[in-house]
Amino acid sequence: MSVRIAPSILSADLAHLMDEVTKVLAGGADQIHVDVMDGHFVPNLTFGAPIAAALRRCTAAPLDCHLMVRHPEAYIEPFAEAGATFLTLHAEATDHLERHLAEIRRRGLRPGVALNPATPLAAIEEIVEEVDLLLVMTVNPGFGGQAFWEPGTEKVRRARDLLDRHESRALLEVDGGVARQTVQRLAAAGADTFVAGHAIFTAADPAAEVRELRRLAVAGAGERMARR
């Protein structure tokens, strides 16, 4: 199982965004995580499709856009035009999830579904086949630098079982409190894609931090393989 590291620009120095992105890509980051918040679905406001478009003009790296907004379907077209790669909607934020995932795929993007800590995995059980990325939140979304939600490790383990049961090849991404202290156990539980904002962008050397998180995640993935 390959490991993917997805630095979240939420914790980057936005006045020097492209420098920050260049640093993490130099460290081998696999995709850039873009946290889109509307001040309604979550109690914070960040950025929208223009930031994704600006990043796309500067890098060919996959853009992993995480929509923490109500009625995310309204943003499919702007993010498609911006050049997003993954577009992840929250199951709690919309009715008719399946229809919107199909629309994302029709627009040539890879559809993802995110689940808040309190949302059971059953929310996606019926539509696993439509999903290219399952995002298990390990904080309540809204802010960077929050404490890791401990039951998240067990939820990741059950999410991995769910994907395996459906023979899904979707990425299993974790977001929130991912750091040196948590990444290895999350990989051992079956996550393969790791969002980290605070841990990477507050490090003295963000590129080295990407490499260190990858090293620990690979060790965790190895533990998992050894158990099988």
- In the complex, which residues of this chain contact Zn ion (CB under 5 A)? 35, 66, 175
Catalytic residue among 30, 64, 175, 192: 175
Shortest approach of Zn ion to residue 147 CB, angstroms?
Answer: 16
Q: Counting contacts by CB under 6 A, is residue 90 touching ligand DX5?
A: no
Q: Taking the CB of residue 8, how many other CB atoms lie within 10 A of it?
A: 24
Compare residues 36 and 221 and give the one whose CB is closer to Zn ion: 36
198 binds, among ligand DX5, Zn ion, none (CB under 5 to 8 A by kind): ligand DX5
Shortest approach of ligand DX5 to residue 41 CB, angstroms?
Answer: 10
Active site residue 35: yes
Shortest approach of ligand DX5 to residue 209 CB, angstroms?
Answer: 11
Q: Which SS3 state, helix, strand or coil, does residue 124 take? A: helix
CA pair distance 88, 180, nearest whole angstrom: 25
CA pair distance 69, 77, nearest whole angstrom: 15
DSSP letters of 49-112? HHHHHHHHHH--S-EEEEEESSSGGGGHHHHHHHT-SEEEEEGGG-S-HHHHHHHHHHTTPEEE
Q: Which of 123, 139, 50, 132 is nearest to 90 (CA)?
A: 123
Q: Counting contacts by CB under 6 A, is residue 177 touching ligand DX5?
A: yes
202 exposed, middle or buried (CB, 10 Å; 0-12, 13-18, 19+)?
middle
Contact pick of 3, 4, 5, 10 for ligand DX5 (by CB under 6 A) = 10
Active site residue 132: no
Q: Which of residues 142-171 bind ligand DX5 (CB under 6 A)?
A: 142-146
Q: Taking the CB of residue 16, how many other CB atoms lie within 10 A of it?
A: 11
100 binds, among ligand DX5, Zn ion, none (CB under 5 to 8 A by kind): none
Q: Counting contacts by CB under 6 A, is residue 197 touching ligand DX5?
A: yes
Q: Taking the CB of residue 218, how many other CB atoms lie within 10 A of it?
A: 15
Shortest approach of Zn ion to residue 64 CB, angstroms?
Answer: 8
| Residues designated catalytic | 35, 175
Q: Which residues bind ligand DX5 (CB under 6 A)?
A: 8, 10-11, 33, 35, 66, 139, 141-146, 175-178, 195-199
